[in-house]
Amino acid sequence: MNKIYSKIESIVGNVIAVKAQDVAYGELAQVKTRYGMSLAETIRLDGDMVYLQVFAGGRGVSTGDEVRFLGHPMQVSFSDNLMGRIFDGAGEPRDGGPVLSDNLVTIAGPSVNPYKRIIPREMIRTGIPMIDVFNTLVKSQKLPIFSVSGEPYNPLLARIAMQAEVDLIVLGGMGLKYDDYLFFRDTLEQGGALSKTIMFVHTAADPIVECLMVPDISLAVAERFALKGKNVLVLLTDMTNFADALKEIAITQEQVPSNRGYPGDLYSQLAARYEKAVDFSDAGSITILAVTTMPGDDVTHPVPDNTGYITEGQFYLHGGHIEPFGSLSRLKQMVNGKTRDDHRSIMDAMIKLFAAYRDTLEKKSMGFQMSAWDRKLLKYGELFEQRMMDLSVNVPLEKALDQCWGILAECFEPRETGLRSDLIQKFWVGNE
Amino acid sequence: MTEGFVTAVNGNMVSVSTDGVVTMNEVAYIEAGNKSLKSEVIRIRGNSVQVQVYEMTKGIRVGDSVRFTNDLLSVELGPGLLGQIYDGLQNPLPEIAEKVGYFLEPGLYLKALSRDTTWHFTPLAKEDDLLQRGMAVGWVPELHFKHIIMLPFDFYGEWSVTKILPEGDYTIDDVIAEVSDAKGNKRQVRMWFSWPVKRAVDCYSERLKPADPLVTKTRIIDTFFPVAKGGTYCIPGPFGAGKTVLQQVTSRHAEVDIVLIAACGERAGEVVETLKEFPQIIDPKTGRALMERTVIICNTSSMPVAAREASVYTAVTIAEYYRQMGLDVLLLADSTSRWAQAMREMSGRLEEIPGEEAFPAYLESVIAAFYERAGIVRLYDGKTGSVTIGGTVSPAGGNFEEPVTQATLKVVGAFHGLSRERSDARKYPSIHPLDSWSKYDGIMPQQAVHYAHTFLEHGAEVGAMMKVVGEEGTSLEDYVVYLKSEFLDAVYLQQNSFDPVDAAVSPSRQKHVFELVLKILASHITFKDKEDARNFFYELRQTMLDLNGTPEDSDMFVSLYKKVKEALMERKPEFEDRGLKAIKALE
């Protein structure tokens, strides 16, 4: 039986220290306080002193409380029973369902051998034209959604969760407002997607340490399902809260901060999570979409900046829609050549014209006179925003491509679009 | 052998208590459960030794025993390195995958070189020959290279050959020769030996000044910001500016014998592209797969941080080894910032006093020492060999003022600064023509390059002015300068790396086309108005872009070249004196 220690030597922030022998780095313990039981993780060993990070926080922990080591690192139960369930950051049920404790797997395992990875090759259909047509999401891709507080990034995630053509969704919430948590739960339930979803939710009211566990626990579960052949989409919101939790804990640990108070290993910490995205050659895959709110809409802030270096592009959610400029899926080239032969060309042409529309808007706002061409562009821009950029639009890729041709035909002559003649002959709306 | 036991664990730093002899930077193994985890001594204070562990430290307990090896972190050098894919500690990744499947296994270390493969050995030294370290003992064919088997680099002094095996097939573990020195010490020579990664290989008679250009076949580099064989250069740039693509293109087309790719703390996906595609791409120079001239050292961002630091040293040591055979080696490190960050993490754990942005105070000297391992050297047999180092830098927020970029700029010979502005405008490669510089001589005469560069400077000034006063407020003369700079940018600086022809441009073709571009820049044409000028340059641009996509030896190329020339002469241009001199310098 595991030994129980009943004298806590120090309590600093969320970290307690006990004198104990034969404890492994990373080992889990239970701390029994007057407010109930909490898990704690060993984060430092120094002689016979063991430092533990208490999930429920240091508040209310007494020096006389009991600590019992469990002899294993943080684990999560993995089975098909997870489907449709909601847990908190410590893996405890949040939905009133039974506690799961069979088939435990260790979280934050070693990384995938690069030699075993394959070049991504399949798209994930989301039914959102701004993604499918213009910045195609690719299986095994890791993409952040850069946004600002107040933008509808959570509704966007919920929409993707309901529409994306994947086998399984794992949703990790970090520092979510309670309303947002309820929003996700209710929306997925009504949309009928809850049964293929597993949620690990840390709300803003929960202890900060649990926030740190959410990505690891979500990805560990996703990894297991992927190994069983499932294509898993992991949605994380909001990674900035995760980074802030890292910062908070690093500072209370008296670590030297590097940039705006964030710890020096922020890049490695984020990379360790994002790099879990993978396509196994003969099993399933993990794709990661993670909301990253940018404080002050500043892309050079350490969190979006480090994220940008790790991920394969980004969606930029601004003004209530996915911005055509600033958004980029680096892997789209690998898949959009084999969807339909007009896909690439129409994508480029639409974006070029939209850029021209933006220029015209600027000219208009400065009071310049509008030419006939300008008026065409204004009409085009309006239709584009309505039919393509609106987040509530849900159409399959092929239909979205047809709509693109439709918009072009409504606004322009074929030769004004800069599209190759063979494509115009094949696809132009109104052709005989 | 010295032993000790664990007293503290903090992240990937472990403290060990020992009363034996310990060497700084020696390798130690921590026995945690059923695993031995590799680590390196980074601080010694009395009986307390701090080691950085090259693996995740989960599971280590206070009291676990530690075994010191008395060897510094070393790599195995010998035939069989080419075409390999190693992690930062030289573990062959394909074999690890074969053994344990999808995931990397902490504590699993495999031999870097196969002990079973036989190599056809031909002796070059005879009995009684006097040899120094690094001198040839014999050779084996390794793919299409003549791999020289050298007297190991740590055989200091003079050795006479007492025995050498005749030509035949041997494994690298066979003793192929025996040598003895004046004092009668005897040593055995095998086809492989190990060398500590953090010591520069110094078996050569002198270091030379880098003078010959290293041809990358990227126009903006070869013509405007050249790199020399044995030189150093850096590519800083914000995320998404195309650092990695630029390095991939260089690794494919650079005219060198061997390419070392050190993927250090970056995305795994990018390495995957290289390692899946290189075996398929044929190198036109040798007719063999590109992979056969490549060694990949890969420690991606989610692999253990401490090994990230080791990976760049592992790569440079292998590069130096092949240099010793008289080959030109190019080392591409992507990205050195991640390596610097690994140092920062460890420095923080050691509770050292932090420097700027919490980087350790020794950051600059460590970066300088690394880049100084590049160079062109004259070997004992009179041949030359070179190591060229190109490192990317990922500055936080794309701001070049940060410590890693600044420390790197101090020691490199060329600076290829990537700009977000250019990459947003899809102008690739996004090397900024006004911010970047090179101290090396390239394939073009200085005068000609300088002349072309003045147009870029003036054009940028006019462009900035035009943003304020509009096109109407700009004089026709200024406007033409602006159009010329845009023209030069579009048809010469920008290059389409996905186009089979445009992706790699030979030096002779560069000269040929550059001459035509210079002629256009030097021309004085009287235009009716701005519209007329714009149409003229747009038309030239279109033809030039077609030209860029046409193979040099085709009739199409000749006719397009002629078409541009004729379009220019039709306007009856006069030529500027300085321009004519620049063109003359090209010949």
Domains with residue ranges and CATH for chain B: 3-72 (2.40.10.170), 83-88+204-438 (3.40.50.300), 118-191 (2.40.50.100), 446-586 (1.10.1140.10)
Average of per-residue pLDDT values in chain A: 92
Convert the pLDDT of each residue in A51-92 to its tens digit. Answer: 999 999 888 999 999 999 999 999 999 999 999 999 999 999
Query: Which among B575, B431, B455, B444 is positioned nearest to B515, based on CA atoms?
Result: B444
Q: Say whether residue B301 is in contact with chain A using an 8 A CB cutoff.
A: yes
Partners of residue A121 in chain B, C-beta under 8 Å: none
Partners of residue A118 in chain B, C-beta under 8 Å: 272, 276
**Sequence-separated (6 or more) residues with CB below 8 Å from residue B222:** B213, B215, B216, B442, B443, B444, B505, B507, B510
Residue A127 C-alpha, separation from nearest chain B C-alpha, in angstroms: 26
Res. B370 pLDDT band, cuts 50 70 90: very high
- Read off the pLDDT of each residue in A375-403 and give the average, rounded to a whole number: 94
Task: Give the nearest chain B residue to A299 (CA atoms).
Answer: B397
Residue B195 C-alpha, separation from nearest chain A C-alpha, in angstroms: 26
**Fold of the CATH domain A4-73:** Thrombin, subunit H (2.40.10)
Does the beta-carbon distance from A264 to B344 stay under 8 Å? yes
Q: Looking at this predicted complex, what is its ipTM? A: 0.88
Question: Percent of chain A beyond pLDDT 70?
Answer: 99
Convert the pLDDT of each residue in B43-91 to its tens digit. Answer: 999 999 999 999 999 999 999 999 999 999 999 999 999 999 999 999 9
Is pLDDT at B467 greater than 80 in this prediction? no
- pLDDT for the residue numbered A430: 78
Is pLDDT at B20 greater than 90 in this prediction? yes
* DSSP characters over B72-103: ESEEEESTT-TT-EE-TT--BHHHHHHHHTTB
**Fold of the CATH domain A80-333:** Rossmann fold (3.40.50)
Query: Which among B278, B218, B262, B210 is positioned nearest to B429, based on CA atoms?
Result: B218
Question: Percent of chain B beyond pLDDT 70?
Answer: 100
Q: Which two tokens stand for residue B561?
A: 């070249």
- pLDDT for the residue numbered B304: 86
Convert the pLDDT of each residue in B485-524 to its tens digit. Answer: 999 999 999 998 888 899 999 999 999 999 999 999 999 9
Crossing angle between the packed helical segments B268-277 and B243-253, to the nearest 10 degrees = 20
Bridging pattern class, strands B177-180 and B186-189 = antiparallel
Average of per-residue pLDDT values in chain B: 93
| B 20-49 residues inside an 8 A Cβ radius of A | 32
The better pLDDT of the pair A284, B472 is held by A284
Distance of alpha carbon B420 from alpha carbon A329, whole angstroms = 16
Convert the pLDDT of each residue in B287-318 to its tens digit. Answer: 899 999 999 999 999 888 889 989 999 999 99
Distance of alpha carbon A41 from alpha carbon B59, whole angstroms = 12
Convert the pLDDT of each residue in B158-205 to its tens digit. Answer: 999 999 999 999 999 999 999 999 999 999 999 999 999 999 999 999
Burial (CB < 10 A; 0-12, 13-18, 19+), residue A195, is: exposed
- pLDDT for the residue numbered B492: 96
Phi, psi of B6 (to 5 degrees): -70, 135
Convert the pLDDT of each residue in A359-369 to its tens digit. Answer: 889 888 888 78
Res. A415 pLDDT band, cuts 50 70 90: confident
The better pLDDT of the pair B375, B241 is held by B375
- pLDDT for the residue numbered B154: 94
Whether the model pTM is above 0.95: no
Does the beta-carbon distance from B300 to A111 stay under 8 Å? yes
Task: Give the nearest chain A residue to B267 (CA atoms).
Answer: A310
Considering only the beta carbons, identify the residue of B56, B272, B424 that sits closest to A117.
Answer: B272
Res. A184 pLDDT band, cuts 50 70 90: very high
Does the beta-carbon distance from B269 to A117 stay under 8 Å? yes
Distance of alpha carbon B226 from alpha carbon B256, whole angstroms = 15
Is pLDDT at B231 greater than 80 in this prediction? yes
b (16+ CB within 10 A) / e for A102-135: eeeeebbbbbbbbbbbeebeebbbbbbbbbbbbb
Q: Going edge to edge, which strands form the sheet with B130-131?
A: B130-131, B159-164, B177-180, B186-189
The domain limits of chain A are 4-73, 80-333, 343-427
Task: Give the nearest chain A residue to B48 (CA atoms).
Answer: A47
Residue B465 C-alpha, separation from nearest chain A C-alpha, in angstroms: 18
Distance of alpha carbon B226 from alpha carbon B118, whole angstroms = 41
Does the beta-carbon distance from B344 to A255 stay under 8 Å? no
- pLDDT for the residue numbered A171: 96
Is pLDDT at A2 greater than 80 in this prediction? no
Convert the pLDDT of each residue in B278-291 to its tens digit. Answer: 999 888 788 899 99
Convert the pLDDT of each residue in A217-271 to its tens digit. Answer: 999 999 999 999 999 999 999 999 999 999 998 888 888 888 889 998 899 999 9
Is pLDDT at A432 greater than 70 in this prediction? no
**Sequence-separated (6 or more) residues with CB below 8 Å from residue A356:** A377
- pLDDT for the residue numbered A370: 85
Res. A216 pLDDT band, cuts 50 70 90: very high
Distance of alpha carbon B96 from alpha carbon B110, whole angstroms = 8
Q: Which two tokens stand for residue A59?
A: 């508040």
- pLDDT for the residue numbered A394: 93
Question: Percent of chain A beyond pLDDT 90?
Answer: 76
Convert the pLDDT of each residue in A99-137 to its tens digit. Answer: 998 899 999 889 999 999 999 989 999 999 999 999 999
Burial (CB < 10 A; 0-12, 13-18, 19+), residue B458, is: middle
The better pLDDT of the pair B285, A404 is held by A404
